[in-house]
Every structure is written in C-alpha cells, then in structure tokens.
Structure 1
C-alpha cells in the first residue's frame, strides 16, 4: 500500500498503514538514519592519522581517500537520486542501508590504502542514495519538521561520528576496528526497523528512465538554486576542508598530537552549524542567507588569523562563527527550495542540490591536499581560506542585491 502526500496536507502526518510503524515513529527513524549515515561518514576523519602511520601515505592520498567517498556519493545521487520518486522510499532506502553495512565490513577488514578506497567508495554510494531518499521522505512526512531535520540531523551526525571516533582513538584499544563494530550494530538495528517504515510514494512508471545521470531541477526552483549557489559552494567547501585536513591542521596550529583535537574541531564546526539552524530557522530564508554569507566571511578571517599566528582561541572562535554561517545558510537554502517542488519532484530536486553541494565539498579539498604537498598545511589552508572569503563575499553581495 502506498500513500501519496498531497501538498495541501504536507504539515499533517500521513495515514497510518497496517503492519508499519506509526508516522511519527517512522519520521524519527528517518531522522536517526540521517544521523547514522553522516556519523559513519565523518568517523574515518580522526582515524586518518592512524591509517597514515600504518600504511604510510601522503596528505594527497589522504584527501584522495576522502574525495573517493564524495565522488561515489555524487554518482549515487546522479544515477539513483530520483529513483525513490518512482519505486518508493522504503525499498531504495533499504538498498542504501545494505550498501552501508557492506562498507562498514570493508573498513573492519582494511589492511591497505586499497581497502580504504573500496570502503569509502561503497560508503559514498550508500550515502548518496540515502541522502536523496531520506531528504525526500522526511519532507513527505512533515514539510516544516522535515526541512528542519534535514538540516540539523547531518550536523549532529558528523559531530557524533568525529567526536566518538576521536575519543576511541585516544582511549580505546584497536580503535580502527571498534569504531566500525559499534557502527555495524547500530546500522544493523536500524536496517531491521526500516523494513517497517510506512511508504509515502505511489509507484509510477519511469524508474528506468530516472537512472539516466542528470540534474533534474524543477523549473520553478532553478532561479533560486542559481542564486544560492555561491553561498552553498563556500559553506560546503569549508566542510570539506575540515573533514579532510581539519585534524591535521588542528595539530599544526595548536602544537599537540592529542587525537581528540581533530574530533573537537570538526564537532565545533558542525555543532555551531546546528545552533545556527535552531537559532535562525524561523527568520525569513532570504535574510538568513545574507547573514550566513557575512558570518562565513568573518569566521574565516578569524580562523586564518588563528592559523597564521598560531592562536588556538582565534582558530576555534573563527570555526564557531563560520559554523553558524554554515548551518544557517544550509537550512535557509533548503527552506528556499522545498516549497518550489511538487511532492513527486522532491527526490530529484534534493539529489540535484546535494550533487552541487558535494562537488563543492570534494573538489576544493582534493586541490588543498595537492597543495599541502608543495607548500605545507598552513600555507595551503591560508590560500583556501582566502578563496572562501572571496566566494562568501560574492554570495553576500548577491544576497544584498536580491534584497534591494
């Protein structure tokens, strides 16, 4: 049984389906899955130092391992991102969960860079598929709450993954196994629960045609997507830097090899993002986008000062300010786009939005990894930060012009 969700009832729960979770239970299971997928994606970041010591690879290889995840994620979004609009949310989500479980098994078996690449590739594919279907399914259940959870849950997920993994690195034996053993148990239980999710989409023809790689943006959303592109690029490029080279950069700035530092830095960025979302979610989206662009500029200036002068307080304060802009801008972008898509267009729109986001997340980080090998971590980060300030400034100017 499939239950479509008309736009007129987008803020009401779907009808209860026999033998399935209640709509509120299903909604919160979906939110927990967003947290788990993003926690699993950020968990390897604090482990990269251990992997580098064990396998002996360079900063460029590190960002390549990171970027393989993002490129696979993009592939999943481009090919399979709209599939749930045709085949239903639940079966596509279950496929993504099985792929995620496979990636966690590969991490447990990893004994070389090749294994890490394979694990991250499979994890990226799983997360790409899941990102589109979870984003659309949450909106199916509750438009307002769905948009909020779509924005906040990834922030908490990345924070939990980074902090949890770095804590295990510091205090546990064999952290490169324990991290993924814990994740396997959690995701395994969630996979079992996902079999009982209610369906919110009626199957319709066109599933095979939907597999053709494309960016399917509804005409009503195209102008808005173009307007938010510079801000979206800056905020995701910032996230890519922190999740790939952040732990290494923190050790360089602070002069300490404490594993928790890397996790704390990532958590500072994304938890600040969650605060920004919760703080500004009721303000008009166009005004929040303009404020977010300004916060990114100011945050990066403070962060660059902390990097250049090795002042930890400025480094972390700048991360907090930039994180506020990151989260608030992401939420405002989602809120700007969601009303512009019909229910049957949501999967494709979310997939297109996330493709653009993850290109900004991965390509600049890969370039930074290449630059580190030539000029060092601090110089590469300073150049990266200056580029983000220029992009954020451009976004602020465009937002101000659109408000005039």
Structure 2
C-alpha cells in the first residue's frame, strides 16, 4: 500500500487541512452523545421505561461495532476522504431520523445509524488526523486525535443539555444545530487532501478479530481494565440522567449534560497526563484510580450526595483515560505489525460491548430492586473488574 504525503496541494494550508479533519472528527463524536440529557424528555413524552432507554443507548454500540468490523480496513483501499464523507452522511441521516422520530422504532434506527457514523470515523478519522498533521505538530497528532474524539463525546451532552433546558424545541433543536455543524464539516473534509494512493483494484475486506497467543498476556488485563473503564462511560452516557433525577433530585438538563460530559473531559485529561507517568505504572495506576472513582460514585448514589457522585465521575473518567491509552499502547506495542489492526479492533469491540451490555443490565436489574441499589451494585462491579485487572498486572510484572 502506497501512501501519499500529507502535504496539501498548492494553495492549501497543511495546518488548515489538519484542523479541518480534527473539526469533522469532533462534530461526528459530538452528535453521538446529544441524546444523553434528553432521555428524561423522551421518557416523559413516550412513556419509556429505564430499560427501554438503555436499549436505545445500546443500539448505538451495535452500529459502532458493525461499522468497525465491516469498514475498519476500507479507508486503506478507498482512501480516507470517501469514508469520512460516508460517516458525515450517516450522521446527517441520524439527525434527520431524530428530528422526525415519533416513537421507539425511529429512535432505535437513529441510534444505530449514529453508531455507524462513529464507527466509520473512529478508525478512519484517527488515522487521517495523524497523517494530515504538519511536521511541527506530528508529535502531538496522536493525542490530538484522541482528544477531539473524547472532547466531542463530552461536548454533546453539554450542548444538548443547555439547548434542552433553556431554548424552545428541546427534542429537536440540538439535532438541527448539529446538521449545521455537519455542513461545515463537509467543507472541512472537502478541503483536506487525500493521504492514500488508491490501488487499481481495491479489495474490501472485513476486519478480522483475533488475539495471537503471544499477545494474550498483555491483552487480558488491558481488556479487563478497558471493559471497566468503558462501562463507566456507558453508565454516565445512558443512565446518569435517571440517577440524577430519581436518586439525587437534580432535574436541570444543563446540569445533567455537564455531569455526563465531565467524564469524557476527565478522560481526555487522563490520556494527556499518562505520558508523564512511568510506563510500567500507567495501566496499574489507571485501574487504581477507576476503583477510587467507582467507589465514590457508589457512595454518592447510596447517600444521595451530588458532590460525591460528581467527584467520582471526574476521578473515574480520569482513571479511564490513563488506563485506556496505556492499555491500547501496550497492546499495539506487543502485537506483530501485520496483526496490529485486528488486535486493536478486537480491543475496541470489547470496549463497545462494555459500553452497552452493562447499562442494559442496569435497566433490567433496576426493575426488580430499584435504581439506587442497582447503581451501587454497578459501581461495585466496575471496582471489582478494575481490581482483577490490577492484580493480573501486578502478578505478571510488578511495576519497578
């Protein structure tokens, strides 16, 4: 596979091309979390149970995993820009479905399509942002790609919460605004040059999921820690509105969106800070911080204390960021070069399973024992998983 240089054609600024691709990535991820603070409004309008809300959220993860597996390698064959445009079209279709929705079925389809847009962008845009970085920015390009990913996920609930609380048309305005941002993202992608030389006969294959025997010792604790961290993200994206309203007595949509978004902002900070930690300590420390954060979240739910709940969200998000970047880096470093894509794709599929299945479990269990005990149990589950990963890491090779 031959790659074109990331330099822009005459008259195009490499810096603008890089920033444009990063902006498009941010806009796509922002759109995927817009529904979070609006779930209470959907419940009130359509009479949905908490279980239905978690199923609507989980539909998003189905779309992400499908797109990652099916299109994960397509941009190497078709080019980055065609896949980026496809992701933008899917996001616009999702917005249109949300705007026209009048019940459960359209909302489920809208979430699946939103997940498809995110799945396409997660791999393609990450690589495109790195390839388009001007030479002076290359060292920070990888972090820039992960930062706009997590930053966009965090901005979605904040924007939707503000619009839903203080502006008319609460179930629709956020998606209309996002359509306008998508139009700008289309212009940004159109401006950016292609960084891949398309082969004469493109071969479109599905991404294979595999973990070679030589990588499993590194993969297992990283995957367990990643599962726990992404379960936390799923919890705050899907069920935080219910806990804040029904347990903590907070019904302001702007506040709900801010709390949900804060987990992703803290994750971004954790990813930035992990580079300053000794390499051997990064993943174990990430696990330990998630344990502390989960404990505070559970305590905040048990005592119905907003401060503890928010503090736990920030700490758990910070630990998730440390552990996620450290685990992914360790897996990539341990994987053979010709299998790195399939191994990291397997890791991401596990992460998105963690994003969806546990929150559906919350919806199911809460019907029997109530929301507060379920939330405390979930926090214990996350802490237990992180503890298992921590023990495996320390037994495998105690940090020097």
TM-score between the two structures when normalised by the length of structure 1: 0.90
Shift of 1:350: 4.7
Closer/same/farther in 2, CA of residues 252 and 267 from structure 1, 3 Å limit: same
Indicate the residue corresponding to 1:118 in structure 2.
109
Q: 1:69 aligned to 2:60?
A: yes
Indicate the residue corresponding to 2:183 in structure 1.
188
Shift of 1:196: 2.7
Which range is displaced more, 335-344 or 53-62?
Answer: 335-344
Shift of 1:344: 8.1
Indicate the residue corresponding to 1:229 in structure 2.
223
Indicate the residue corresponding to 1:281 in structure 2.
275
Q: Deviations over 1:123-150 (max 9, x none)?
A: 1111111111112223434564232123
Closer/same/farther in 2, CA of residues 326 and 251 from structure 1, 3 Å limit: same
User: Which of 246, 260, 265 is residue 266 of structure 1 equivalent to?
Assistant: 260
Indicate the residue corresponding to 1:202 in structure 2.
197
Indicate the residue corresponding to 1:4 in structure 2.
3
State the distance in 2 between where 1:21 and 1:186 align.
22
- The 3-state SS of whatever aligns with 2:77 is helix
8 A Cα contact 1:88 1:202, kept in partner: yes
- The 3-state SS of whatever aligns with 1:256 is coil
8 A Cα contact 1:296 1:326, kept in partner: yes
Q: 1:372 aligned to 2:366?
A: yes
Q: Deviations over 1:138-184 (max 9, x none)?
A: 34345642321233222211221111111111100012211011100
Q: Deviations over 1:160-213 (max 9, x none)?
A: 1111111111100012211011100111111122123222233347854513x6
Shift of 1:296: 0.5
1:12-23 matches, within 5 Å, as 14-18=5-9, 21-23=12-14
Closer/same/farther in 2, CA of residues 331 and 246 from structure 1, 3 Å limit: same
Shift of 1:267: 2.1
8 A Cα contact 1:147 1:331, kept in partner: no
State the distance in 2 between where 1:283 and 1:207 align.
42
Shift of 1:380: 1.3
8 A Cα contact 2:264 2:317, kept in partner: yes
User: Which of 240, 245, 250 is residue 256 of structure 1 equivalent to?
Assistant: 250
8 A Cα contact 1:85 1:347, kept in partner: no
- The 3-state SS of whatever aligns with 1:111 is coil
Which range is displaced more, 40-49 or 198-207?
Answer: 198-207
Closer/same/farther in 2, CA of residues 342 and 198 from structure 1, 3 Å limit: farther
Closer/same/farther in 2, CA of residues 346 and 222 from structure 1, 3 Å limit: same
State the distance in 2 between where 1:195 and 1:207 align.
22
Shift of 1:30: 2.5
User: Which of 323, 327, 331 is residue 325 of structure 2 equivalent to?
Assistant: 331
Shift of 1:270: 1.6
Q: 1:162 aligned to 2:157?
A: yes
Indicate the RMSD between aligned Cα atoms, in angstroms.
Answer: 2.5
State the distance in 1 between where 2:329 and 2:147 align.
13
State the distance in 1 between where 2:147 and 2:81 align.
22
User: Which of 91, 96, 103 is residue 105 of structure 1 equivalent to?
Assistant: 96
8 A Cα contact 2:223 2:327, kept in partner: no
Indicate the residue corresponding to 1:390 in structure 2.
384
User: Which of 20, 23, 44 is residue 53 of structure 1 equivalent to?
Assistant: 44
Closer/same/farther in 2, CA of residues 261 and 394 from structure 1, 3 Å limit: same
State the distance in 1 between where 2:14 and 2:343 align.
23
Shift of 1:70: 0.6
Number of equivalenced pairs = 394
Shift of 1:396: 1.2
User: Which of 3, 12, 15 is residue 24 of structure 1 equivalent to?
Assistant: 15
Q: 1:148 aligned to 2:139?
A: no
Q: 1:44 aligned to 2:38?
A: no
5+ residue gaps, structure 2: none
State the distance in 2 between where 1:73 and 1:188 align.
22
